[in-house]
Amino acid sequence: MGDQVRIVEVGPRDGLQNEKTPVSAEARIAFVENLVKAGLGIIEVGSFVSPKAIPQMANSDQVLRAVDHHPGHEFHVLVPNEKGYEAAKAAGAKVVAVFASASEGFSKANINCTVAESIQRFVPVLERAKADGIKVRGYVSCVLGCPYDGEVKPSAVVDVTKKLWDLGCYEVSLGDTIGVGTPAKARALLRATASEVPMTNLGMHFHDTYGQALANLYAGLEEGARVIDSAAGGLGGCPYAPGATGNVATEDVVYMLEGMGVKTGVDMMQLLAATNGIADVLGKKPVSRVASALNAKAR
Ligand code: HMG
Ligand code: MG
């Protein structure tokens, strides 16, 4: 597998956006700082979206400003439109992420527009980002199924992924938003998408609702994909994806990769401390297998 796997830690954004317990900006900042200590170099720290839609991500400007001082680290934030871009830029963002869907039902529920309209909204964001020297990552949601429309054809995913790539996204992350995929489907999807966008520029963003995320990642790694989105503690979910659970846990990914001889640069015990820290804030135990195993061992 080589040693070129890149982990994009999405816990402070995807993880916390779905939590009912309000998490203060201070606790979000402490979580990000603990992830930095653990050796994670790319961390998605918040979103500049409507606070009516996702109140959990209000004050993402405070979080970004507080953490954005580690040389060599990237701190990403989501932006759905120019208004979000403007606010992210004002807060000093150097990397933003736009997010589209492969299915119309989720697009409407999540960002209140059609897939085509969302792409149109991203055009000025990408243009401005290019002029401002800000990198833009893309997401495609519902790549292996939609909570509203059911089955999603790979061709729909390929189409949206190519549009984001053509607009200038440096990488497009494929989101199994509701975690319904299985390895053969994940493999086929990556193969299909890589016909239009280089495999090394595709991310795997797999939620673990049905316990398949690690297996799906392994299939993707075998295909040559090298970018993995994961969330410390297996936190995550989207309020507009009912029933979906968290992202694949970063500690589970790190355990698997290191076990395969892939160096991640992540210190597992520091990562566990970050996971336990945010679990304490949320008042619940981490759901990830590795965190549970290591916590049990420590007891
Ligand atoms: P809308 O209602 O169609 O937008 O929402 P609008 O332009 O009509 O604006 C409505 C109000 O929102 C206005 O305020 C705007 O100013 C405000 P009001 O006049 O009512 O007081 N507004 C904003 N405020 C702050 N920041 C902004 C912004 N834009 C408008 N950027 C909109 C459209 C996209 C804004 C809304 O639907 C929204 O914010 N949705 C957020 C959805 C979201 O964050 N979902 C979770 C992230 S996606 C995800 O989790 C999937 C992913 O993990 C991958 C995967 O797993 O598949 C990435
Ligand atoms: Mg997600």
Distance 275 CA to ligand 1 centre (A): 28
Q: Residue 1: pLDDT band by 50, 70, 90 thresholds?
A: low
113 tagged catalytic? no
Encoded tokens for 157: 């995913």
Catalytic residue selected from 113, 142, 169, 238 = 238
Ligand 1: centre distance to CA 60 (Å): 14
Q: Which of 13, 50, 119, 173 to mutate to test the pocket of ligand 1 (most atoms within 8 A of CB)?
A: 50
Closest CA to 201 of 237, 227, 222: 227
Which residues hold their Cβ within 5 A of ligand 2, which is an ion? 14
pLDDT tens digits for range 116-167: 999 999 999 999 999 999 999 999 999 999 999 999 999 999 999 999 999 9
Pocket of ligand 1 (CB under 6 A): 14, 17, 47-50, 53-54, 78, 80-81, 83-84, 99, 110-112, 139, 141, 175, 177, 205, 207, 238, 240
Q: Which long-range contacts (CB under 8 A, 24 or more apart) does 21-28 make?
A: 21/281, 21/282, 21/283, 22/55, 22/56, 23/56, 23/278, 23/281, 23/282, 25/59, 25/62, 25/63, 25/66, 27/278, 27/281, 28/59, 28/63
Whether the pLDDT of residue 2 is over 60: the answer is no
Sign of the torsion angle spanned by Cα atoms 269, 256, 175, 286: negative
- pTM for this predicted structure: 0.98
Rounded distance between C-alpha atoms, residue 144 and residue 146, angstroms:
7
Ligand sitting nearest the alpha carbon of 79: 1
Angle at 219 between CA 13 and CA 241, to 5 degrees: 35
The string of pLDDT tens digits covering residues 270-289 is: 999 999 999 999 999 999 99
* ∠ CA 219-265-273, rounded to 5°: 100
128, burial (CB in 10 Å: exposed 0-12, middle 13-18, buried 19+): middle
Q: Whose CA is nearest to atom 46 of ligand 1?
A: 238
Domains in the chain, CATH or no CATH each: 6-298 (3.20.20.70)
Inter-residue contact 268 to 294 (CB < 8 Å): yes
State pLDDT tens for residues 179-217: 999 999 999 999 999 999 999 999 999 999 999 999 999
Rounded to the nearest angstrom, the distance between the alpha carbon of 54 and the centre of ligand 1 is 8
